[in-house]
Structure 1
Amino acid sequence: MARCLVISAPASGTGKTTLTLALARAFRDRGLAVQCFKSGPDYIDPAFHTAATGRASVNIDSWAMTHELIDMLTARGGDADLVLAEGSMGLFDGVATPGMSGTGASADLAEMMGWPVLLVLDPSGQAQTAAAVATGLRDFRKGVRIAGVVLNRVASPRHEDLVRRAMEGVDIPVLGALPRHAPIALPERHLGLVQAEELTRLNDLISEAARLVAERIDLDAVLQLAKCDWTTSGTTAPAHVNPPGQRIALARDAAFSFIYPHILEGWRAAGAEILPFSPLADEGPDHGADVCWLPGGYPELHAGQIATNGRFRHALRSFAETRPVHGECGGYMVLGEGLTDAKGARHEMTGLLGLETSFAKRRMHLGYRRAELTAGMPGHPQGTRLRGHEFHYASILAQPDPPLAAVRDANGAEVAETGSRRGHVTGTFFHLIAEER
């Protein structure tokens, strides 16, 4: 029998990531093979999962992915002793209009795969009411099974006792409680948690979290409640992804790191060779590559350095004279004329597109995107329909080039971030998740 859990909560900010990492490491320390997944679009959490387990974590998304693709991606957990899928936002939070196999809610994954849910509840400012919240979540949607709860940020032993007694009254198991001032929080940044490679003490933080969880959570009970009837499809083949070229020069460093693992796996499975280079180290794309791809990341934090890295800028411009170059979100901004940082300083970018962006006036752009290409881009011909998401705080000051795609949000409303094209160069603000099939 399989053992799987979806780690979810009533809302964001309750400690799902920290608990997922702590449980993953605690069970790994017991000698178990733990496979993590991330529900929804997120680049950062899977890297933390990988650090905690030693096994690559990938995203699974019911709005952007078919049931078949989700089955293929989750099959890599078939040989694990425990599967932990970290949810996003609240358990039932998704978009209003369903996508390929659901609304993007973590509950979609729980029901689709038959995985029980472990709730992380923050009872700050309440006691017995926490049981009412848990009961409402348990009874809200048939087919989603709440296995138990972990209490996070409990104020005192008395507080914990009050909540536990209330949970007993509604027959919801409490598997443990973590104190309010537990010293295991991970630092954050404006797009979420900082990236795994930026935390030199990451392993120590995860180990400390695992130690605390092993002391305060009944791990044997967690394993017992994680039992389910899930079986994999039997195939662990990478997802089918059209590579943008045979030899792909991929920008890869602290400024360009947002690309989904299943995309890279799909490129390699299709026979493509990936040639990483670092714009921050003033490197250009490999001369032997036939396409260059600049993923998203945090270019605004390194805009000054990018602006002064002459070898990178010259090499990329030379490359674009004869071969395709594509940028996603942060990569798209770097392909533009200029980027104004949060302090109001403008930095000259590569000028391959006319895009001008600014972080001086922060404005969140967040949500799923459905794009129909009005012109081809690397790996996808004109007319292809793509599914992805947009998440950034940059404002468009100018976007003068012809649009790359007709882009709509999850409810079908048009969005202004259409992407751009000029010569061999294309760019989008949305991050590609999957081709619509």
Structure 2
Amino acid sequence: MSPPGLVIAAPASGSGKTIVMLGLLRALAGQGVRVQPFKNGPDYIDPAFHRAACGRASFNLDSWAMEPGLLDAITARGSDADLMLAEGSMGLFDGVAHAGASGTGATADLARRMGWPVVLVLDVSGQAQSAAATALGFARLDSALPFAGVILNRVASPRHERLVRAGMAAAGIAVLGALPRRADLALPERHLGLVQAVEHPDLDGRIDAYAAFVGAHVDLAALRAAAAGHLDTAAGTAARTDPPGQRIAIAQDAAFSFLYPHLLEGWRAAGAEILPFSPLADEAPAAEADLVWLPGGYPELYGGTIAAAGTFLAGLRRHAETRPVHGECGGYMVLGEALVDKSGAAHRMAGLLGLVTSHAQRKMHLGYRRATLKAPMANVAAGARMTGHEFHYATIVSQTDAPLAEVTDAEGNAIAETGSVRGRVTGSFFHWISTA
């Protein structure tokens, strides 16, 4: 059997599940529990917070974008843990199809597949016994969904807690904890979600505060007792994540950080050498690299710094003369001619693609993507089919190169953002999750 697990979910975004997740990871790790964190869905930011909280790499699990073998392979990376703990995305049943369907990407879909009971973080502000109706609906909507109970959040007073607990008891819903209202514990956010873990000056102290708060108000023993698991199926050994190069220079700093952890770890496991460098520190990619990869992130916040990074830009252009370069989302924008920030200031970029992007007129692009490559992307051959996710606010001002791929959304609708290819240089707005 694999280690038992739980899913920390909520009825909607903004309910407080991330703070509960981080507090639980740190509090349980402090008790000597080896906790393996996961994140449901395509979130780019939360896994870094999970790692900071418990010291173990966190991986995305996505029933829409990943085949069962890949899900099993990723889950198996926690086989030495005492407890699997997965943070949900959005609301518990929110995915690309109706509740109860498989392969939707919904948190409930993951919980059913893994046999991990759901712990629902429930914002009870503005209601008392009525909160039980919400909890009961989530517990009973899908009879195949394992449900452990609730953690009440934003409780106003001891009297408020008693009333809410009375409603839960009458409905037969277990209460695993009750968190008083604490506005000072909120995590700062920006347009793509939480501010990145690497940008917090006192992240460790902040997570310690979450752990103390959660540890004081959640029954950790009851929580662990509620965990359950599923029978391992050969640990997903048939699933491989083939690297797009043998020696991969990857940009890693506050401007370039959105690369799915399962890809990075999978490339290492397959024998690839990862050579990190920082464009913000004006470092050039390693001369011996056979591929340069620019992940997504927030280059629009550092346009002037990147434009002035002569060593980085010269090294990138020199590499592109003989070997592949690929950029995802923010990295794609940096490969272009120019990037216009939200103030309207234009910053000269690498000029390796005929792309100009702007944040001055923001428009959200969000959702799953399927892509069929029209040209090779590093050592990924033309014709390969990929799943991925797109989330950005940039607008394409001009795009003069050939399209990299045919791209559709989760419902099969054509997407105009096809990516670009010019010689050995490729880029796309979608973040690669897996290859079909």
Asked whether the two chains share a fold, i.e. TM above 0.5, the reply is yes
Write the distance in 2 (CA, Å) between the matches of 1:238 and 1:27: 32
Partner-residue secondary structure (3-state), 2:300: helix
Partner-residue secondary structure (3-state), 1:160: helix
1:333 aligns with 2:337: no
* Deviations 1:16-46, CA, capped at 9 Å, x for gaps: 1110110111111111111110000112111
Kept in 1, the 8 Å contact 2:249–2:291? The answer is yes
Kept in 1, the 8 Å contact 2:132–2:164? The answer is yes
Write the distance in 2 (CA, Å) between the matches of 1:154 and 1:272: 49
Write the mapping of 1:117-136 to structure 2, written as runs, cut at 5 A. 117-136=118-137
Write the distance in 2 (CA, Å) between the matches of 1:47 and 1:19: 15
Partner-residue secondary structure (3-state), 1:107: helix
Write the mapping of 1:236-315 to structure 2, written as runs, cut at 5 A. 240-315=240-315
Aligned residues with identical type, % of pairs: 63
Write the mapping of 1:329-368 to structure 2, written as runs, cut at 5 A. 329-368=329-368
Kept in 2, the 8 Å contact 1:74–1:232? The answer is no
Kept in 1, the 8 Å contact 2:253–2:280? The answer is yes
User: Which residue identity is paired with 1:318?
Assistant: R
Write the distance in 2 (CA, Å) between the matches of 1:89 and 1:120: 12
Write the distance in 2 (CA, Å) between the matches of 1:229 and 1:23: 18
User: Which residue identity is paired with 2:329?
Assistant: C
Kept in 1, the 8 Å contact 2:317–2:350? The answer is yes
Write the mapping of 1:166-205 to structure 2, written as runs, cut at 5 A. 166-181=167-182, 183-205=184-206
Kept in 1, the 8 Å contact 2:129–2:163? The answer is yes
Write the distance in 1 (CA, Å) between the matches of 2:423 and 2:114: 45
* Deviations 1:67-126, CA, capped at 9 Å, x for gaps: 11111111122221211100000000001389x961100001100011100000001222
State the shift of 1:237 in Å: 5.7
Partner-residue secondary structure (3-state), 2:24: helix
TM (norm. structure 2) is 0.96
Kept in 1, the 8 Å contact 2:294–2:328? The answer is yes
Kept in 1, the 8 Å contact 2:35–2:54? The answer is yes
Kept in 2, the 8 Å contact 1:73–1:238? The answer is no
Write the distance in 2 (CA, Å) between the matches of 1:348 and 1:61: 36
State the shift of 1:129 in Å: 2.0
1:108 aligns with 2:138: no
C-alpha change, 1:88 and 1:4, in structure 2 (3 Å) is same
Kept in 1, the 8 Å contact 2:69–2:238? The answer is no
Kept in 2, the 8 Å contact 1:304–1:347? The answer is yes
* Deviations 1:249-289, CA, capped at 9 Å, x for gaps: 11111111111111112212222111111111111111111
Kept in 1, the 8 Å contact 2:245–2:272? The answer is yes
Write the distance in 2 (CA, Å) between the matches of 1:305 and 1:333: 14
Partner-residue secondary structure (3-state), 1:281: coil
User: Which residue identity is paired with 1:152?
Assistant: N
* Deviations 1:353-404, CA, capped at 9 Å, x for gaps: 0111110111111000000011111131111000000001111111121100
Aligned length: 434
1:406 aligns with 2:410: no
Write the distance in 2 (CA, Å) between the matches of 1:303 and 1:345: 9
Write the distance in 1 (CA, Å) between the matches of 2:238 and 2:433: 14
Structure 1, unmatched stretches of 5+, are none
Write the distance in 2 (CA, Å) between the matches of 1:356 and 1:54: 39
Partner-residue secondary structure (3-state), 1:176: strand
Kept in 1, the 8 Å contact 2:71–2:236? The answer is no
Write the distance in 2 (CA, Å) between the matches of 1:338 and 1:88: 34
C-alpha change, 1:182 and 1:216, in structure 2 (3 Å) is farther
TM (norm. structure 1) is 0.96
Instruction: Find the counterpart in structure 2 of residue 421 from structure 1.
Output: 421
Write the distance in 1 (CA, Å) between the matches of 2:202 and 2:83: 26
Write the mapping of 1:372-383 to structure 2, written as runs, cut at 5 A. 372-383=372-383
* Deviations 1:395-436, CA, capped at 9 Å, x for gaps: 111112110000000000011110001111100000000001
Write the distance in 1 (CA, Å) between the matches of 2:237 and 2:198: 27
Kept in 2, the 8 Å contact 1:91–1:107? The answer is yes
Kept in 2, the 8 Å contact 1:76–1:236? The answer is no
C-alpha change, 1:229 and 1:321, in structure 2 (3 Å) is closer
Instruction: Find the counterpart in structure 2 of residue 14 from structure 1.
Output: 15
Instruction: Find the counterpart in structure 2 of residue 78 from structure 1.
Output: 79
* Deviations 1:193-214, CA, capped at 9 Å, x for gaps: 1111211211111111111111
User: Which residue identity is paired with 1:258?
Assistant: F
Deviates more, 1:414-423 or 1:207-216: 207-216
Write the distance in 2 (CA, Å) between the matches of 1:241 and 1:224: 34
Write the distance in 2 (CA, Å) between the matches of 1:18 and 1:327: 32
Kept in 1, the 8 Å contact 2:259–2:295? The answer is yes
* Deviations 1:187-244, CA, capped at 9 Å, x for gaps: 1121111111211211111111111111111111111112x24233353769512212
Partner-residue secondary structure (3-state), 1:235: helix
